[in-house]
Amino acid sequence: MRFQTPLVPATLIRRYKRFLADCQLQDGQEVTAHCANPGSMMGLADPGTKIWLEPNDDPKKKLKYGWRLVDHGGGHFTGVDTSVPNKALRAALQAGEIAELAAYKTVRPEVKYGQNSRIDFLLTQPGLSDAYVEVKSVTLSRQPGLAEFPDSVTARGTKHLQELAAMAKIGHRAIMLYLVQRTDCERFALAADIDPAYAAAFEQAQKAGVEILIRKTRITPAEITVGRAL
């Protein structure tokens, strides 16, 4: 997934009200950017953090910048926009780049299922069981090289695991795909200390037959694409 407009470097002044971030551009100008991330962003939103913003000239948008990346230096980045994983994964699924799911030729996003929920992707193919794919963006890292999920308590995420388990129990394929939006991590674990209920739901989902896939991302200020398995 390529960014629509070239990103510009900036420094974070502060993040507030979850969806707003005051930033300083390289020329000293201060701007407010939209932060498309409702999570805690633990370790990613400290004042003085080097970041990348995407400018826009859309008259329908109140804010003219969107916060897209954290720059860790040394060529490593974290993608903070939680809408990106679905966009990047949709392209990868349609191109058959996810080996475990490459046999499916029909990819439908945001299909209603469960109890007032929508699955991120429903994959279908004649002769195969339908595949329900839920995607989670992983940005937390508290130990070098280790990515963790979640970064805060997520009742919604627990519900998604339970609904995937229900799909698996009636004979469908159910897949939880964690997309690690950090280039500095090579391992993945659940942050059970942050949300024990989610960790318990994860264990029950696996027992019910839910498949777990973990993928890296390739991130630059030009694009974010799905990478290899972890």
Question: So where are the chain's domains?
Answer: 8-79, 84-229
The total of other beta-carbon atoms located within 10 Å of residue 91's CB is 15
What does the block give as tokens for 74?
A: 């040394």
pLDDT class for 57, splitting at 50, 70, 90?
A: confident
* 67 close to 51: Cβ distance less than 8 angstroms: yes
Collapsing DSSP to helix, strand or coil, 185 comes out as coil
Instruction: Specify the pTM.
Output: 0.94
Q: At the topology level of CATH, where does 8-79 sit?
A: OB fold (Dihydrolipoamide Acetyltransferase, E2P) (2.40.50)
pLDDT class for 59, splitting at 50, 70, 90?
A: confident
Q: What are phi and psi of 158, to 5 degrees?
A: -60, -45
Half-sphere exposure of 63 (CA within 13 A, CB side): 17
Domain 84-229 maps to which CATH number in 2.40.50.140, 3.40.50.300, 3.30.2130.30, 3.40.1350.60?
A: 3.40.1350.60
**pLDDT tens, position by position, 135-157:** 999 999 999 999 999 999 999 99
b/e map 102-124, b = 16+ CB within 10 Å: eebeebebeeebeeeeebbbbbe
**pLDDT tens, position by position, 157-203:** 999 999 999 999 999 999 999 999 999 999 999 999 999 999 999 99
pLDDT class for 81, splitting at 50, 70, 90?
A: very high
